[in-house]
Structure 1
């Protein structure tokens, strides 16, 4: 009988799940685990980001979603150096101007300030972007995700347009407001190593028991004893000739061999009390029982 030909299911591009692209240089690195690692901390990140913007910049901005991407190109990212490499920060200019106007009190109820994105970037914007990048990187990536203490320094000499990984943070109620944290290959490896260390530390560790505890566990270990009450030696021909009503002569084992699993440990005597059989008078197994 021939096997049926395999069926091929065709999906529309809009119905396909988001895919993680890996090139040859990424083989051996678990880049596909990064979204799960960071998304597991979403509740903490949401609380930290909301409190940060409300207390620091008087802006009610709550974290709504995070998106992830590999091999991203950012031309004007703010670059910071750490002992492990470089981390980048990028923010939507409309969001940056909104923070700037709210922080300096230019945008008030009844007197909104139009955000003219055609104007050249000012020094005030640059300073605010640097300040935001340093604070958000320390708050989100270093403290919450990497769980380390890293010294961030402004790196004005580095020219990095291609980043190994990016995490984009979208804000609730603002479709265009977002900021991104960019990681080079060294920090991706650091993130994955930190995750492995957290998983290993969360595994239950073996406890060192005292000799008294070990002795107590050993002496209270439950065991099942099995006694061979009767035995008979017959041939296969005799076994095949046994029929209903036949009487099989047997002899009681005296003393009775006692086993743990298949290993005989000692011999015993069978005693009867109130219709029940009990093992008594335990002795070492006889030498004739040894093979």
Structure 2
């Protein structure tokens, strides 16, 4: 398999996962803020912090209000993690990889591109925006379903699975960073009052509420939620599951030793942490460490399979 094709399908899967999770996070966060009182530690700008995008946002916007934050996260092509950027990159990587992808994927990529273009003028309206975000999630799931149903389990599929699970782990870690606020000893009484709603919201942002209730057999409680999202080995949205899945897929590829060993090291480190018991301030540190390790894992993947003759010096599409 050509390394440039491998890179394209890897990034197509990453951007697809990023788009769906971004749409879901904005959708759930909007619904949450409608249920909470106006003055709390959690607000619209919390979304900017979750994406570690404070610097980029401040370069282009003076006020952190709802309108500017929605424009930045959904439509702003200056933001490398915006919905518009992710969906444009999905379409471009599909377009340049048509020889290895099912035909209907190009049709789906064009439909979601048109949906994005036609919906941009209405994202300031909260009701229209929520409908649009749900449509984005549905289209992303349709693309993933077509890929899972119609693709041969060859190296193209392996690279897509690796990209999907790496991006999923990264997005999960960013959402889990918010738990340092939810677990803080000095959080406000108002925040404590809405504790159950906030943890339920976090599960919903990762499509995990139903599976949590089904497997944990407990009310939604912070420590159990943290352990479920970090270490559960059967829920595909957990950090542990995704890291293990990446390692399994890497073993099907040529010369997998270095990336596989790195993925295993990150998995073992994350599984060794009892995230339900560590102090709140250490949750943020742990998630920062995990994101740093994922960045190094991506670099190793690129060096091993995308640019094997360039010693990793060539940069791939971007994080």
Greater gyration radius: 1
Tell which has more relative contact order, 1 or 2 (C-alpha 8 A, sep 6+).
2
Normalising by the smaller structure, the TM-score range is under 0.3
More strand by share: 1
**Normalising to structure 2: TM-score of the pair?**
0.25
